[in-house]
Chain A
Amino acid sequence: MGDPPLLEWNVATRTMPGEAESGDVAVVRSFPDGALVAAVDGLGHGPEAARAAREAEEILRGSAGEPADRLIERCHQGLKRSRGVVMTVACFDATEDTVTWLGVGNVEGRLIRRSDEGEVHREFMVLHAGIVGYRLPPLRVVTLPVRRGDVLILATDGIRGDFADPVDLSRTPKQIAERILEEEDKGTDDALVMVVRYLGGDAAKASLSRFRDSYSAAFEQYLANGGEFALRLAYELGREAVKEQLSVLELATIHHSVLGASLSSRTGTGQIEGVTESATQFFLESLSAFEMVQRGFWEASEAARLEREVAQTLQRRLLPERLPDIPGVGVAARYLPGGIGVNVGGDWYDVFLLPDGRIGVAVGDVLGRGADAASVMGQVRMAFRAYALGGEAPETVVDRMDALIQAMGLGHFSTMIYLVLDPSARLLRMVRAGHPPPLLLPPRGESRYLEAGLGVPLGVVAGAKYEPVVEGVEPGSVLILYTDGLVETRDGIDEGLVRLQKGVGAGRGDLETLCDRILEQMVGSTAHDDVALVAIRLGDASG
């Protein structure tokens, strides 16, 4: 065949010292639109192991092109009288640019591939415990996309397990295989390293060229006979283009190249006019599927915009319009909705003066997005206000909130902190239901998170009882309460907690400025999640 090779590959092996032949065998076999790659390790070593491995090799060569799991089943049937082998097979599919792999036993597989962003990823093959020819586990194949230059490495158990760390993709398969055998050979068994580089990656291009051929044929048919039959083909081609994820630009390019080719074969002016007119009609038909999809896109983005607007309005209405003026206490708060493409969530806060002069401060988070979460948040906050203004202890209030949420079956995971400050006794009493800890900045000394007394989130454990934590608070202390959107990163909240503590420093100065600074440092210009933040200072409000 004149096709360029799909794979570039090389194998490095070493026979166990003292044995004449190796029980480790590598197989590469190409077939139309694909190639089979396998590494087989006959159990044990010596002639018996080598014979079992060679039998497997023969079966694989004869059946290349069949699915990976079928190949292993065939070997299993054919090797029942042998000593048995462990093996890994990988089937490359050039029409889809994928590799499907499967391993029974301990022939390790690694696929080193580049992502769209050019990052190098290492995929580990999941091995099934078992022995081909003796006991076969249920087989489950895994299929991964591959692109030109990706490297597959198979290694038998004579090679140490961390062999592919790291792999220099700029090296040839031979260099990579030899380097691994040189450095990672255990020296206690037969050893084999097989390195395969994928040279395909033209599947997308090939499908584009097939599409162009079909488009051209249908177009010529329409030019010759006109009629609905050919227009229907144009519509079907447009539909196929959408399904195959061709872009409108690609379709337009194909149309114009087909049209150009068609025009160049004609001369008369009248003829050319006729062609352009037909071409417009034909092109319109092929674009109609894109029209459908585009309308769907507008509809979805309009729906998302409306929902976001509703949720933001709800959120604004549900949060306190202004914070209370409390003599001797400074308070500042912020709420940031999530960034573009992310709806507002259910974060909330509340600050109020209790009848006996104590101050209630609460921050909560109803998990979820959009109008739904915002409306649940509204119910939760109203219920909280109603319970809290009675002046009951925080643990009683939160117990009731928990019971209410269970009874209402709101189905939203919800966290909160309720903290009551008693300026005259210089004490705070806090209950924490699954919520990240507040940060306390005393007027002198180190800031610290109030991490004691973490209870479960609201509404998840029937009859949960929340325990309060009591702390002394000196005048001049600042308390920072927030929701997880402020501190959360992909890896959790620990790193964010450290950054927040560092960023806040001693927390002196104006509280409004402090809140702005915290948001700027922690969130920047676009929040991924919504964020609520409350800062409160006891005693002299000027700090």
Chain B
Amino acid sequence: MADEDRISIGSDSDLVVARQKGRELAGQLGFSGTDATLIATAISELARNILAYAGAGEIALSHVFENGRDGIVVVARDEGPGIVDIDAATNEGFSTGRGLGMGLPGTRRLMDEFQIHSEAGKGTQVVVKKWRGRARG
């Protein structure tokens, strides 16, 4: 993996910085404007989640090249309370009748890949990827 751009998330204005850097990187990698919007939205949702549940954390952005494709990787890390029911936290929405399908489930649907690791009391790490040139995620 190439070098990461790490943005610490502790306030609302950090969210704007993370969005800005995500959009720039997406532009450099040749993502479309629509995709850049979706990436910025995913970053916002992840940053919101950090602020809401952990209070602080960081977002790291990087470029990957795999199987002949360029992609953008967003990692959100915090040392907050962690998520007990990961399945519920990532699947809420229409199917379960809970929530509106924004937040983590929404992030998962905006991106092509989604991984989450969380330990009670230790924190949460979410890794999402989006590949360039895919019509839909």
B interface residues, how many (CB within 8 angstroms) = 26
CA distance A297 to B94 in the complex (A): 6
B110 touches A291 (CB 8 A): yes
A268-301: CB near B (< 8 Å → 1, else 0) gives 0000000000000100110011011101110111
**B23 in contact (CB, < 8 A):** yes
State whether A300 and B94 are in contact (beta carbons under 8 Å apart), knowing that A284-B37, A289-B102, A292-B41 are contacts in the complex. yes
A292 touches B19 (CB 8 A): no
A296 touches B38 (CB 8 A): no
State whether A292 and B40 are in contact (beta carbons under 8 Å apart), knowing that A228-B20, A232-B19 are contacts in the complex. no
Tell me which of B23, B105, B109 has the highest count of chain A C-beta atoms within 10 A of its own C-beta. Answer: B109
CB distance from A487 to the nearest CB of B (A): 29
Point out the residues of chain B lying under 8 angstroms from A301, CB to CB. Answer: 94
**A243 in contact (CB, < 8 A):** yes
CA distance A288 to B34 in the complex (A): 9
Point out the residues of chain B lying under 8 angstroms from A304, CB to CB. Answer: 95
**B106 in contact (CB, < 8 A):** yes
A296 touches B105 (CB 8 A): yes
**B44 in contact (CB, < 8 A):** yes
CB distance from A44 to the nearest CB of B (A): 52
CA distance A299 to B114 in the complex (A): 15
State whether A281 and B93 are in contact (beta carbons under 8 Å apart), knowing that A235-B40, A235-B41 are contacts in the complex. no
- Closest residue of chain B to A304 (Cβ to Cβ) is B95
CB distance from B55 to the nearest CB of A (A): 19
**B127 in contact (CB, < 8 A):** no
**A303 in contact (CB, < 8 A):** yes
Point out the residues of chain B lying under 8 angstroms from A296, CB to CB. Answer: 93-95, 100-101, 105-106, 109
CA distance A292 to B101 in the complex (A): 7
A228-250: CB near B (< 8 Å → 1, else 0) gives 11011001000100110000000
CB distance from B117 to the nearest CB of A (A): 22
Point out the residues of chain B lying under 8 angstroms from A231, CB to CB. Answer: 19, 40
CA distance A235 to B16 in the complex (A): 11
Contact of A292 among B15, B16, B106 (CB under 8 A): B106
Tell me which of B20, B33, B100 has the highest count of chain A C-beta atoms within 10 A of its own C-beta. Answer: B100
State whether A292 and B44 are in contact (beta carbons under 8 Å apart), knowing that A297-B101, A299-B95 are contacts in the complex. no
B84-117: CB near A (< 8 Å → 1, else 0) gives 0000000001110000111001110110000000
B38 touches A300 (CB 8 A): no
Contact of B44 among A229, A235, A242 (CB under 8 A): A235
CA distance A285 to B93 in the complex (A): 21
CB distance from B52 to the nearest CB of A (A): 13
- Closest residue of chain A to B99 (Cβ to Cβ) is A296
A242 touches B102 (CB 8 A): yes
- Closest residue of chain A to B106 (Cβ to Cβ) is A292
Contact of A284 among B16, B33, B106 (CB under 8 A): B33
CA distance A41 to B14 in the complex (A): 59
CB distance from A67 to the nearest CB of B (A): 28
State whether A288 and B95 are in contact (beta carbons under 8 Å apart), knowing that A228-B23, A242-B100, A296-B101 are contacts in the complex. no
CB distance from B39 to the nearest CB of A (A): 10
Contact of B19 among A228, A291, A299 (CB under 8 A): A228
CB distance from B26 to the nearest CB of A (A): 13
CA distance A211 to B104 in the complex (A): 25
CA distance A228 to B19 in the complex (A): 7
CA distance A243 to B109 in the complex (A): 18
State whether A239 and B40 are in contact (beta carbons under 8 Å apart), knowing that A229-B16, A292-B109 are contacts in the complex. no
B100 touches A291 (CB 8 A): no
B100 touches A303 (CB 8 A): no
CA distance A228 to B36 in the complex (A): 12
Contact of A243 among B37, B45, B100 (CB under 8 A): B100
CB distance from B35 to the nearest CB of A (A): 11
Top 4 A-B residue pairs of the complex, sorted by shortest distance between their CB atoms:
A296-B101, A292-B106, A300-B94, A295-B109
